[in-house]
Structure 1
């Protein structure tokens, strides 16, 4: 029997624990009369780090994206605690989405491009029905070409995030690491990066999903409710 609990997305809790609470601690409780610069940074980073580890252990979500998130938090803490040049923070902010984008591109040279693994799988779409219709319409090759194009779009969205992360970090975080001002600016960076980077990236990924669905519709004639898997329709 599988004793691992089923993981259910909790976006509001994720946002509160990983973005809002750390930002408040960094901006409001990093003064010498509160937690101090080092204490405030450790307390702020403990929330996303602890939550990420809890998710990994509790639901056994040992995936590439989750591990990158934990690495990002750990690197941010290292930069602050070891008082490294803030240039490294900007590089780190850009490196995480850049690595994902490169991984997406590399996946195009394998039998399983990332878009196929993430979207065109039985948990999201009725793969067998779609493949059958593609064969009936002699459109399998055309579908593979468009699937590859969608993969490039995904890589481009992560490239956009990498550039924006670097620019935002360079613009906001200008104080030396290990200071209260650095913590406050790091809190602002965490808070601003969500609406300015995460939301546009999410919109782009939704647009890519729409492009993939339109591709399937054009090549097979299937409607959205026929394309989605039974699991997705039950949600």
Structure 2
């Protein structure tokens, strides 16, 4: 029997459609359609609607040990939204909160460039995605370490800029959509609309910018080391890719 202390943390597999459904769609529908007195009421709809992203975030943290700065900040953000609604604060505080969360992350990215552990390494240039040891060895052999570090620093600045974009857009959208007093049915409905609108107007452009930053980083690695993407992928990703190819082409295994 395996002792509880040896139980490994299960691998976290990205589930974007589940994330979208639980964190965006369900809360928005509850807030927009069930806030009336004939359904859940303002307070219950707010609590139940926000319980979905909050519960999902806590599940991710506990189940997969995703105890990182951004995940915790996301949970705090959901909690603050609930607090603003329950305490019936001025809607401008919601806009400030919406802008503050990505602004704090962007500031943290900038500050981390002055430390031994820049966040861009943790999020984009890390062993779970790339074979960083192999890349670093090649950079040392070619005498390109300093040039790569300069490029990595630029990537950090670009990365911070994506959060500045999110911060500004969050504030503008919150001030544009949420205008009713907190604690009312209209506030809940507007909060639901803001949640739906923010995904295509903020999340998708931010993801595209992050993909471009990763491409910039990858092009730098390609130019300085001469490796292809497949040659510098993390070993466990290559192993998964090979297994997938074998399962899709049983003839090749014979």
Q: TM-score, normalised by structure 2?
A: 0.90
Describe how 1:129-168 pairs up with structure 2 within 5 A.
129-168=134-173
**Are 1:43 and 2:86 matched, yes or no?**
no
Out of 127-136 and 69-78, give the one that drifted further.
Answer: 127-136
Query: CA separation in 1, counterparts of 2:151 and 2:170?
Result: 29
Aligned to 1:66: 71
Out of 219-228 and 73-82, give the one that drifted further.
Answer: 219-228
Aligned to 2:26: 21
Q: 1:52 Cα shift?
A: 1.1
Out of 87-96 and 45-54, give the one that drifted further.
Answer: 45-54
**Are 1:172 and 2:184 matched, yes or no?**
no
Aligned to 1:196: 201
Query: CA separation in 2, counterparts of 1:71 and 1:217?
Result: 39
Query: CA separation in 1, counterparts of 2:237 and 2:108?
Result: 26
Query: CA separation in 1, counterparts of 2:221 and 2:18?
Result: 34
Q: 1:2 Cα shift?
A: 3.0
1:31 aligned residue (30, 33, 36) = 36
The runs of at least 4 consecutive aligned structure 1 residues that moved more than 3 Å come to none
Q: Deviations over 1:67-122 (max 9, x none)?
A: 11110110000000110000100000001100000000000000121112222222
Which one has a bigger Cα radius of gyration? 2
Instruction: Name the SS of the counterpart of 1:73 in structure 2.
Output: helix
Instruction: Name the SS of the counterpart of 1:74 in structure 2.
Output: helix
Aligned to 2:246: none
2:211 aligned residue (202, 206, 214) = 206
**Are 1:95 and 2:72 matched, yes or no?**
no
RMSD across aligned positions (CA):
1.0
**Are 1:5 and 2:46 matched, yes or no?**
no
Query: CA separation in 1, counterparts of 2:101 and 2:58?
Result: 18
Q: 1:33 Cα shift?
A: 0.7
Instruction: Name the SS of the counterpart of 2:109 in structure 1.
Output: helix
Instruction: Name the SS of the counterpart of 1:61 in structure 2.
Output: coil
Q: TM-score, normalised by structure 1?
A: 0.97
Q: 1:61 Cα shift?
A: 1.6
- Unaligned runs of 5+ residues in structure 2 are 1-5, 242-254
**Are 1:121 and 2:126 matched, yes or no?**
yes
Query: CA separation in 1, counterparts of 2:62 and 2:93?
Result: 30
Query: CA separation in 2, counterparts of 1:43 and 1:106?
Result: 36
The size of the alignment, in residue pairs, is: 235
- Unaligned runs of 5+ residues in structure 1 are none
Q: 1:6 Cα shift?
A: 2.1
Query: CA separation in 1, counterparts of 2:112 and 2:32?
Result: 40
Instruction: Name the SS of the counterpart of 1:177 in structure 2.
Output: coil
Query: CA separation in 1, counterparts of 2:91 and 2:34?
Result: 21
